[in-house]
Structure 1
Amino acid sequence: MNETVAAFLKHILQRHLERKQNRSVVIMESADIVDYVCNMYIGPALCILGIFGNIFNIFVLFRGRLLDSPYVYLKALSFTDMFALILSLPYLLFTKHSDNFSPNVYNAFVFLPVVNLLTAASVWITVGVTIDRFIFVKFPLLARSYSSGSRVKRRIFTIYTFGILFTLPRYFCYSLVNDLGVYRMEFTPFRDSAYYRVYDIVCIIIYHFIPLVIFVVINTYLIVAVYRARFLRQELGIRNNREQDWQVEQRRFTITLIGIIVISIVAIFPSTISDFSRLTNLSLHEYKLLRNISNLLLLCNLSMNFVLFCAFNKRFVRAIRTIFNKRRNKTRIYISFKSRTRSSRSDTCVVTRQHSFISACKM
């Protein structure tokens, strides 16, 4: 009887171990599939679209004479996102799984620290324009002095300076090891130390947790403010067209910012979870799966600003139309000038031929 019970318990234990192994195999396979699809197809496609979209944003923001302080933030944001995507594209396509020396140098000392700097700067530039918009909506009299162009440029410079100083420890996290001509990155003693763990927690709080709280609180307030302003406009029936257009334009920019904040929240929240999971006993494959999803969302965050500008910001769309209408008019003027020049030349040739013919007949 005891042997039968022991055999039954052994059978149950074996089945449990088999199920656990099968589950781990499924997790490994799904993590590898997600990693391959994200790095080889979706990620590079988002990078290419985002690079061209941000280049177009920069072109319109500068040529469209959008000089207000919020657009100074958007110019810096477009430059930051563009360079982050430019550095991410070769990493995804070529250097991530390379065993050569130069690609690993790029990964350890260019891509990882610089892209961390750029993504952190992108987050805090978005925080800056969010706070400015909150002050504009909540305290309109204070907004003019607080959000001047020179002060916005100083804030952007401060964000980059603080980001560079805070990124310096990341240059001491990896060392290159040569194993019979095969190069790979390995953690340095500093990367495995308690100091880096403290530094990592501080980075998560500064670059993920605090911006996330600011985004959620201010975005909620802005959504309520836009909702109330729409009904207030309908009740008051503003007659001054200039004032109405100005208020509609400000509301549109606020809606654009709300869209940027929502995408930032969606992108930052999984990244925050994955960063905190490094401090737990999460398995490597589960962390890899979570990290790939969060990286994909961050790439979407860096690439989607052009769509938001065109969808919600009418002033941005008007700037696009103005630029292309000017170019079209210049092209038409050039073509008409060419056609007139050719026609005048042909008329001159005809007159010259007629004159020579008349002179020949007189002779």
Structure 2
Amino acid sequence: MTNSSSFEGCMDINADLGPFQYYTWGITSNIIAVSGILLNILAITVLSQPRMRSSTAIYLISLAVYDNIVLLSMIVNFAIPTLEVDAYFLDMYFFVYNYIQPIAYPIALIAQTGTIYTTVGFTVERYVAVCRPLQAANICTTSRSKKAVFCIFLGSVIYNIPRMFEYETVLEWDDQVNKTQPIYRATELGQNKIYKEVYFIYLNLLIMFFLPFTLLAYVNTCLINAIRTSRASRVQMSSSAVKENNMTLMLVSVVVVFLVCQLPSIADNILWTALNSYQQRCNATYIKFTTISNLMVIFNSACNFVLYCLFGKKFRRVFCKVFCSRLKRSTVRYQFRPESATLVCHIRDSTTKLYHVKGNHEMESTSV
């Protein structure tokens, strides 16, 4: 319970942080999220091409789908409400928001869980392909990756089933507008202290943090060492080994960015559970931290396409083939126009006649 002076101080803090959240969530997050959704659609298009068909591509397509769900949920939950738009629009927005949030909230958490374990899935597969090549032929197959993606989705849904009962929409009378309004509020389960302690702290720490992040850190270290070893013996590497090395480097970059961007979000979830409602709303340091951590999640879900282009040579080639085909066709026509082919034929005919005229000795000296 807080007194009136503390409440006024809380209002002052929120007023001071308004511009910070406006530029962080309202402007920056919206730009990154919308760009990320478009880039993820491009990534799905490229990864679905026949030349990119592989077990790893299936994981990456699934990751792009989860990322787009996360980006959409971030726009709905954080980016739009902080925009300085028309009051009538915000009233309509929150009216709809209160109805859809009990469903949208668990869907966003399912996508976040799927993102984490899909990243674990393709990292482990890459570890098998690089460090256990004799077992890769049986493990790293498209059929197995499809089953793994389905199991990740199923596990993400099962783990987040309790989230579907944490909040509810009820109708309450609002004296300010003199009518009944939908209100989005926590249920008895969502307010239960034991539930929050067990599910949010212990299970979240174990399933959403310690298990996946420890596994990712260990496997990623093994992959980085494998890349260093292969580069040290680059002279002995075949072309297929170079391609595998390039794919490994691309996936390692995705995992490193994932770890850096997701760790603050995990810490934010733990802090949110540990702090009371007054500290959550009135602590300026925590509000800034949670704002930045959510921005990093948005950035992580939006940047994978850029990483694919920077580190994936095959991805760049297929992307250019799909989206730059017109430019390539015009270049090919210019390089192999009929006039050039005719000129080459005339040169060959002249050279043949010249060899017939000259003697053997002269032909040998000319060829040298």
**TM-score between the two structures when normalised by the length of structure 1:** 0.76
Question: How far did residue 182 of structure 1 move?
Answer: 4.3
Change in Cα spacing, 1:27 to 1:249, as seen in structure 2 (3 Å) is farther
Give the Cα–Cα distance (whole angstroms) in 2 for the partners of residues 83 and 182 of structure 1. Answer: 28
Question: How far did residue 162 of structure 1 move?
Answer: 1.0
Say which SS state the counterpart of residue 189 (structure 2) adopts: coil
Change in Cα spacing, 1:263 to 1:332, as seen in structure 2 (3 Å) is closer
Task: Please give the residue correspondences for 1:132-147 in structure 2 after superposition, counting only pairs within 5 Å.
Answer: 132-147=125-140
1:278 matched to 2:272: yes
Give the Cα–Cα distance (whole angstroms) in 2 for the partners of residues 33 and 179 of structure 1. Answer: 32
Residue of structure 2 in register with 1:7 after alignment: none
Question: How far did residue 61 of structure 1 move?
Answer: 1.1
Residue of structure 2 in register with 1:200 after alignment: 200
Say which SS state the counterpart of residue 191 (structure 2) adopts: coil
Change in Cα spacing, 1:28 to 1:324, as seen in structure 2 (3 Å) is closer
Give the Cα–Cα distance (whole angstroms) in 1 for the partners of residues 16 and 218 of structure 2. Answer: 36
Task: Please give the residue correspondences for 1:1-363 in structure 2 after superposition, counting only pairs within 5 Å.
Answer: 28=14, 31-63=17-49, 65-94=51-80, 98-99=90-91, 100-110=94-104, 112-177=105-170, 178-180=172-174, 181-193=180-192, 194-201=194-201, 202-233=203-234, 237-238=235-236, 244-281=238-275, 283-284=279-280, 285=283, 286-324=285-323, 326-328=325-327
Give the Cα–Cα distance (whole angstroms) in 2 for the partners of residues 329 and 133 of structure 1. Answer: 33
- What is the alpha-carbon root mean square deviation over aligned residues? 2.9
Shifted more, 31-40 versus 121-130: the winner is 31-40
Say which SS state the counterpart of residue 65 (structure 1) adopts: helix
Structure of greater Rg = 1
Residue of structure 1 in register with 2:350 after alignment: none
Question: How far did residue 310 of structure 1 move?
Answer: 0.3
**5+ residue gaps, structure 2:** 1-5, 84-89, 175-179, 333-368
Aligned residues: 308
Task: String of CA shifts for 1:316-360, please: whole Å, max 9, x gaps.
Answer: 011112224544567899xxxxxxxxxxxxxxxxxxxxxxxxxxx
Residue of structure 1 in register with 2:87 after alignment: none
Alignment check: 8 A CA contact 2:71 2:301 kept? yes
Change in Cα spacing, 1:269 to 1:31, as seen in structure 2 (3 Å) is farther
Alignment check: 8 A CA contact 2:200 2:270 kept? no
Give the Cα–Cα distance (whole angstroms) in 2 for the partners of residues 263 and 255 of structure 1. Answer: 12
Query: Which amino acid is the alignment partner of residue 106 of structure 1?
Result: I
Shifted more, 320-329 versus 160-169: the winner is 320-329
Percent of matched pairs sharing the same residue: 26
Say which SS state the counterpart of residue 278 (structure 1) adopts: helix
Shifted more, 183-192 versus 112-121: the winner is 183-192
Change in Cα spacing, 1:209 to 1:290, as seen in structure 2 (3 Å) is farther
**TM-score between the two structures when normalised by the length of structure 2:** 0.75
Change in Cα spacing, 1:276 to 1:83, as seen in structure 2 (3 Å) is closer
**5+ residue gaps, structure 1:** 1-19, 334-363
Alignment check: 8 A CA contact 1:64 1:323 kept? no
Change in Cα spacing, 1:68 to 1:325, as seen in structure 2 (3 Å) is same
